[in-house]
Structure 1
Amino acid sequence: MSIQSGQSAIEILGPEQPESAAILSAQALQLVEELAERFNVRRDELLQLRLEKQAQIDNGKLPDFLPETASIRNSDWQILGIPADLQDRRVEITGPVERKMVINALNADVKVFMADFEDSLAPAWDKVVQGQANLRDAIRREIDFTHPTTGKSYALRPDPAVLIARVRGLHLDEVHLHWQGRPIAGALVDFGLYFFHNYQQLLDNGSGPYFYVPKLQSHLEARWWAEVFAYTEERFGLQPGTIKATCLIETLPAVFEMDEILYELRNNIVGLNCGRWDYIFSYIKTLRNHSDRVLPDRQAVTMEKPFLNAYSRLLIRTCHRRGALAMGGMAAFIPAKDPAKQEWVLNKVHADKELEAKNGHDGTWVAHPGLADTAMAVMDQYIGELPNQMAISRDSDAPISAQELLEPCQGEATEAGMRANIRIAVQYIEAWISGNGCVPIYGLMEDAATAEISRASIWQWIKHGTHLDNGQLVTVQLFEKMLLEELVTVREELGEARYENGRFGEASELFRSLTSAKELTDFLTLPGYQILTQKTVA
C-alpha cells in the first residue's frame, strides 16, 4: 500500500523501517520531490542519449575526443578550489553503508571513507533507509554497534576519516519512492536525503557535503549534476561551491570528455577517480561489436596494459592542469590468514599502489582496513609531507591519442579464466539478490563492477567466436555446460547447507540469461534489482 508522505506528494511504496520517521520526514521528502520535479525528466533524456551514442559505436564509429568542445580542452581555466579536509586523500577506503562497516572504515588508517550507496550496496529498501540513518549518526558522532552474537562493541574514534557519500548511478531507479506515478532516480534519492539530513552538521564539523558521482558517460551528465548542486545550494542559502564532488571516470566514453566534465562542474568538483574495474567493463560494453577489441582473461587486464596505463596518465595530466585531484583505483584484495598468501597479497597491493604513485596519482583506494597500512606506506613514500602530488603535471608527456585509449589488449582467454568468471559471477549475483553487494570471493572483495566484467567477458567471447587456450570455441553451449559443472564446484566449496539455503538457482538463471543473450544487457543490477525488490514494493 502506498502512503502519502504528509506535505510531500511522493508515494512511499516500501515497508516502514525503524528509521523511516526520521529519514523519510516530510521536509526531507520535500527536497527529494523538488529534485525529482526539476531533474527526473532530464535524467531520462540523458539515458536516451547514451543509447543513441552506443548505437553509433555499435555501427562502427569509435569513441573520440569531441571536436565541438576543443576550445574547452585548449583554453586555460581551473576548478574553483579544494577544501582543506580534501587536500590530502592519499588513501581512501570504500564499502557499503552498513553500520559496522561505517564505524570500521571511519576508524581505519585512511584519510577518507567513501560510504557507498552504489556498487558495493545491494539497494534493498531497508539497506537504503538504514544506510542514511547510519551516516547521519556517524556525522553526529552518535554511532555505535554491538554484534548480536559475539557481543563485541564498535565505537567511533575521536578523529575519524573524512566522509564522502557515493550515490547511485543515473541508470538506477528507487522503486520504493514514486513521484507522479513513476520511480525517482536513485541518485536523486541518495543525494537529497544525505544532503538534507547532514549538510549543516557537516559544515559545523568543519567539513562539508561531499559526494562521489559514479558512471558518468558525458559532460552533459556532468552539467546535470552541476545544476542539481547549484539548485540545492541556492535552495538552502549556501555559497556556490559548498557541495563538493569527485567524479569517477569509469566509462570509456567519459575518458574522452574529462576536461569537459571538470569544466561543467568547475564550481563543485575537486577531482576525478580511475574507477578501473567499471572502466574495464565499460570497454567491453562500449566496444561490444568490435571484434578486434576483445579482452583476454580478467586477471590479465592489469593497469600495466597500454590502454589502461594511458587512461591513468591522461587523467592525472588533465586533473593537475585544472587544479583537481587525480585519484587512483581500487585494490580489491583482502588479507589472507595463511602467512605465505598474505605476503603475496601485500606484495601485489604494494606494486599496484607504487605504479599509481609513480604515475602521479594523489591517492588510492583499498577495500579492507587490513590493507590500509600497506597502501599508506607507499603513498607516504612518494607524497611525503605534501598533501598531494599536484605538482606532477605530466606536461612533458607525449599527447595521449584516442588510438592509445582504445588499444587492443594482449593476452589469452583461458578455460581456467572462464570457469573462474562463472564461479565468481554466480556467487556474487546470489549475494546481491539476497541483499549483500560486497562479497569476499577467492581472496578478492567483489562488487558489482567485478561481477560485470566476469559476465560481460564471456558474452563477448561467445559473440566474437573466441577460442580458449586449449582450442575450445566459446559458444552458448560450452558456457551452459561449464555453468552446470561450476555450480557443482560452488556447492562443494560452500557446503550443501549454504547452497540449498541460498538463492543459487535464481542467480545462475539470471547469469545464464544475461550471458547467452544476443544483446548485452547494460547492467546486471537492472534485472537483479527487480528480483531484489519483488517482495518489498507495495
Structure 2
Amino acid sequence: MVQGVQIHSTQAQDAQAQVLTEDALKFIAALHRTFESTRQSLLVAREAAQQRLDAGQPLDFPVETRHIRADPSWLCAPPGPGLEDRRVEITGPPERKMVINALNSGAKTFMADFEDACSPTFANMIHGQVNLRDAIRRQIDFESGGKPYRLTEKPAVLIVRPRGWHLDEPRVTVDNTPVSGSLFDFALYFFHNARELVKRGLGPYFYLPKMEHYLEARLWNDVFNFSQSYIGMTCGTIRATVLIETLPAAFQMEEILFELRTHSAGLNCGRWDYIFSFIKRRRADRSAVLPDRKDVTMEVGFMDAYVRLLIQTCHRRRVAAMGGMSAQIPIKNDPQANDVAMAKVRADKLREVTNGHDGTWIAHPLINQIAMEIFNKHMLGPHQYHVRREDVKVAAADLLNTKVPGKITVEGLKSNVATSLGYSAAWLGGNGCIPLHWLMEDAATAEITRVQLWQYCKYGIRTSDTGEVVTPQWIDRLVDEIAPTLKSATLAAENLDIVSKYLKAQVRKEWPSEFLTSDLMGYLAVRDGCPAAWQRSVL
C-alpha cells in the first residue's frame, strides 16, 4: 500500500487490516526514514562503550554534562492528566483478557507491555495493538467459556511499553530494512489512539526501556516532537517514564530527565534488568561475580545506592520515582507458603514507600490490595515529591559496589538452568510472561539466569556448598537433566531443544550475547513468514 513498505507475515490478517492501515504505515515509514540512522549510530556507540569497559575504563558520571546536574533551576513537566497519583501500577502483556483484568484491578495505572512480558510473535504484537485500541474506546468486552469480561466504569490509566532500541521488527521493512521494534510499537499505538486519549481527558503515555545513554533519551524526545507535529497535536502532550534498568543509565539519570523534561513522567527502578546489566556491562571484571539470584536483593549495596539516587534525582526535578516489581505471586492451595510469599511482598512495598518512592509495580491483581494498603498508609498525598532525600550522597563507587553477601550453590545453578530453559522455551512458543516456582518470570529474570551461568563458567567459580568448579560441561549435564522435566503442553520439545543448545553455547562464549530476545527473534520471524535469512545461527 505504501511505497517502500513491505509486510512479511500473513499472521493475524484480520487484525493487520485494522491497524496496519495505509496512513499508519506512512507514519511508520516517516519515523523510520527520519530516525533509523540515529538509532543505528547509538547502538554502535553502545558497543564502543562496552569495549572501553572491557579495557578497564571505569564507569563514572559524565564530565560533559556536569552543568546539567549542577543546575537546580530546571524541572520536568507536571504530571499528565491521570498520572498525578501512581501509587500502584499493574503490568502485563497486551493480551485481551489480561488487558481487561488489569484495567479493572483497582491499580491506578496499567502498563501494557510489548517488551519483556510479551513474546513478539507478529500475532501478539498486532492483536495487542487492537486490544489497546478497543480498550481505549471501551469496545473490548467479550465472553469466554460463558464468563463475561467487561471494563469497569473507572479503569486504570493506560501506559504502554514499546520494545527497546536494540530490537528490530523484521515482519515490517521500509526500503528493505527492518523497522525498529520501538518505533513500530510506539507508532501504531500513538497514531491510532493519541487523539482519542486526549479527547477522553488523558494522553498518550509510555514507559521507555533499556536505554544506556542520555542521547538515546534525546532520540525518544525527537521522536515525540516529530510525532506530535505529524498529527497536529500540541508538543508536550506525550508523557514518558524511563526505566533505569541498565548500569550506564544509572550514571545519567539527571541527563535522561533533562533530555525528556518536556515529556517526562519520571523514572522507574527496573530492578531485574538492572541486575542483568550490572553483570553484562562488568563482564570483564571478575570481582563483579554475583551470588545466587535470590541473594541479590534490593538491600545489597549497589542496588540500594541506585534506588536512593533515583528517588533523590526524581524529586529534585519534580517527577515520579517509581518502585519495581516483586517477583512473588499468590500461591494457591498452600496457605502457609502463600503467607511467606505475601510477607515478602509487604516488606518490599514497605521498603519502597518509606524510602520515598511515589508508586510501585505489581504483576498480579490479587497483590493490588497489599500494595495499595501499604502505600495508602504511608503516602497520604498523591506522591512524595517533598521527600527530597538530601541526605543521600551516592558516589560512582557506591553504584559499583560488588560486596554482595550470599553464596553460589548447586541449587542456585539448577534454578538458573530451569528458569533460563523454561522461560526461553515459553517465549519461543509465544508466551512472554510465565509463573515458575511461584515467581513471575519474564525476559529480564531469564536474562539474569543466563548471564550468571556464563559468569560462573567464565571465571571458574566454585560452588559454596560442594566446592566444585562450574564448567560448561557441568552446565551441559544440568541442561540434559532438567530440560526433559520441563516438557508440557505449553513447552514444546522443539523449543526446549533450541534453547538447550542455545544455553550450552552461551556458557562457552568469550562474552555473553547482548540479549536472548535478539538472538532468538529469528526463529519467531521465520515462523511468521519472514525470509529464512532472519533465522541467523546463534549457537
TM range (shorter): over 0.9
- Is residue 131 from structure 1 mapped to residue 128 from structure 2 by the alignment? yes
Aligned to 1:308: 303
**Other-structure match for 2:155:** 160
In the alignment, is the contact (CA less than 8 A) between 2:426 and 2:490 conserved in 1? Answer: no
Within 5 Å, give how 1:472-483 maps onto structure 2.
472-483=468-479
Alignment check: 8 A CA contact 2:429 2:490 kept: no
Q: TM-score scaled by structure 1?
A: 0.96
Matched, 1:67 2:59: no
- Distance in 1 (CA, whole Å) between partners of 2:491 and 2:459 is 33
Contact residue 94 and residue 114 of structure 2 kept, 8 A: yes
1:519 pairs with 2:511: yes
Cα distance, 1:488 vs. partner? 4.1
**Residue 234 of structure 1, aligned match among 202, 222, 229:** 229
**What is aligned with 1:508?**
500
Cα contact 2:28–2:183 (8 A) shared by 1: yes
Match of 1:20 in 2: 16
Is 1:217 aligned to 2:206, yes or no? no
Please tell me the residue identity of whatever aligns with 2:249: A
Correspondence 1:466-477 to 2 at 5 A: 466-469=461-464, 470-477=466-473
Residues in 2 aligned to 1:221 and 1:283: alpha-carbon distance in whole angstroms: 19
Alignment partners' CA distance in 1, 2:49 and 2:302? 21
Overall identity of the aligned pairs, in %? 45
- Whether 2:397 is the aligned partner of 1:400: answer no
Name the residue aligned to 2:520.
528
Give the CA deviation at 1:330.
Answer: 0.6
**2:336 matched to 1:340?**
yes
Residue 500 (structure 1) shift: 6.0
- CA contact 1:514–1:524 (8 Å) conserved in 2: no
Aligned positions, number: 525
Displacement after TM superposition at 1:333 (Å): 1.4
Q: Which of 70, 91, 94 is residue 94 of structure 1 equivalent to?
A: 91
Q: Is the 8 A contact 2:426 2:491 kept in 1?
A: no
Residue type at the aligned position of 2:369:
D
Q: Secondary structure at the match of 1:85?
A: coil
Q: Is the 8 A contact 1:95 1:116 kept in 2?
A: yes
Q: Within 1, Cα distance between the matches of 2:299 and 2:383?
A: 23
For the residues of structure 1 that align with 2:128 and 2:521, how far apart are their CA atoms? 17
Distance 1:450 1:238 in 2: 38
Change (3 A) 1:143 1:8: farther
Amino acid across the alignment from 1:56 = R
Q: Residue 78 of structure 2 corresponds to which residue in structure 1?
A: 81
Structure 1 pair 498–194 and aligned structure 2 pair: CA distance change class (3 A): closer
Comparing 14-23 with 368-377, greater Cα deviation is found at 14-23
- RMSD, aligned CA: 1.2
* Partners of 2:416 and 2:157 in 1: CA distance: 35
Letter in 1 for 2:330: P
Amino acid at match of 2:82: D
Distance 1:534 1:380, change over 3 A: same
Gaps spanning 5+ residues in structure 2: where? Answer: 531-539
Within-5 A mapping of 1:268-283: 268-283=263-278
Do residues 121 (structure 1) and 113 (structure 2) align?
no
- Amino acid of the residue matched to residue 499 of structure 2? A
Check if 1:371 corresponds to 2:367: yes
The answer to whether the Cα contact below 8 Å between 2:103 and 2:155 also exists between their aligned partners in 1 is yes
SS in 1 for 2:82: helix
Shift of 1:165: 0.4
Contact 1:316 1:361 in 2 (8 A): yes
- Which residue identity does 2:160 align to in structure 1? A
CA contact (8 A) 2:111 2:161 kept: yes
Indicate which of 327, 336, 341 corresponds to 2:322.
Answer: 327
Q: Is the 8 A contact 1:215 1:251 kept in 2?
A: yes
Cα deviation for residue 517 of structure 1 reads 2.0
SS at match of 1:518: coil
How far off is 1:146 after superposition? Answer: 2.5
Residues 104-141 of structure 1 show CA distances to partners (whole Å, capped at 9, x for unaligned) of: 00000200000011000011011111000000000000
**Is the 1:440–1:446 contact (alpha carbons within 8 Å) kept by the matching residues of 2?**
yes
After superposition, residues 285-304 of structure 1 pair within 5 angstroms as: 285-304=280-299
Counterparts of 1:499 and 1:106 in 2: how far apart (Å)? 29
Shift of 1:396: 2.4
SS of 1:18's equivalent in the other structure is helix
Deviations 1:277-333 (A, max 9, x none): 000000000001100111110000000101101100000000000011100001121
| Distance in structure 2 (CA, Å) of the matches to 1:250 and 1:166 | 14
Distance 1:438 1:327, change over 3 A: same
Cα distance, 1:87 vs structure 2: 1.1
Instruction: Give structure 1 stretches of 5+ with no counterpart.
Output: 1-5
Letter in 2 for 1:528: L
